[in-house]
Chain A
Amino acid sequence: DARVTQTPRHKVTEMGQEVTMRCQPILGHNTVFWYRQTMMQGLELLAYFRNRAPLDDSGMPKDRFSAEMPDATLATLKIQPSEPRDSAVYFCASAQIGERTEAFFGQGTRLTVV
């Protein structure tokens, strides 16, 4: 059963701490997205990768956020230092760009910064 896996599912941390969220995309998918969801803003694209190369990270606060794909099976989103306004649900999605490009989402990481 192919699915996108995100860890951790929940994270509570103190302001100023580093947070790392991980995503395992569906095997064979060449595109990975990171989204943030809040009640006020809805789903915002933070960054996305194709064949592990970053294509667009304009939605990401560069001073504290970073996204990487160390290999084809792992994408990471890091926040350092974290702030209360970063509290949100962070979703990873993957897709195979081609004849039928359908995006599949993970269950999300619910981040609370206190």
Chain B
Amino acid sequence: KQEVTQIPAALSVPEGENLVLNCSFTDSAIYNLQWFRQDPGKGLTSLLLIQSSQREQTSGRLNASLDKSSGRSTLYIAASQPGDSATYLCAVANAGGTSYGKLTFGQGTILTVHP
């Protein structure tokens, strides 16, 4: 059974800092990994998708890396802003069999960026 862990559970930083959020998963047989953002009371917004054959993806100030063999992904946020405050969730999609594409989520990292 796939298990996804995110560290830290919460993070509070001053504006302008570069920061790293971590995600680890137990079963390396994944199809892809997605990072989501969730604002309070809202749905999940997809930030970055990394296919299992890729090592990283970038979108603006966000960079996500994937090391499938070690079961790890990191989300790097450069020059953080108060608007980045949200919960960040990592999800892996299973590869193979009837569970193909099944998404398993971590518990999330609650990020607060203060001015």
Contacts and interface: CB of A to CB of B under 8 A. Distances in A.
Interface of A: 31, 33, 35, 42-43, 45, 48, 50, 55-56, 91, 93, 95, 97, 100-108
Interface of B: 31-32, 34, 36, 42-46, 49, 51, 89, 91, 93, 98-108
Contact of B43 (A31, A48, A105): A105
A18 B42 CA distance: 25
Given A100-B51, A102-B49, A108-B43, A93 B98 contact: no
Contacts of A50: 101
Nearest to B32: A101
Nearest to B31: A101
B9 to A, nearest CB: 11
Contact of B91 (A100, A103, A108): A103
A56 B103 CA distance: 11
A45 B31 contact: no
- 5 A-B pairs closest in CB distance: A105-B44, A43-B105, A107-B43, A42-B107, A97-B101
Contacts of A48: 101-102
A37 B49 CA distance: 22
A48 B98 CA distance: 11
A102 B93 CA distance: 9
Contacts of B101: 31, 48, 50, 95, 97, 101
Contacts of A33: 103
Nearest to A96: B101
A97 B107 contact: no
A82 to B, nearest CB: 21
Nearest to A3: B43
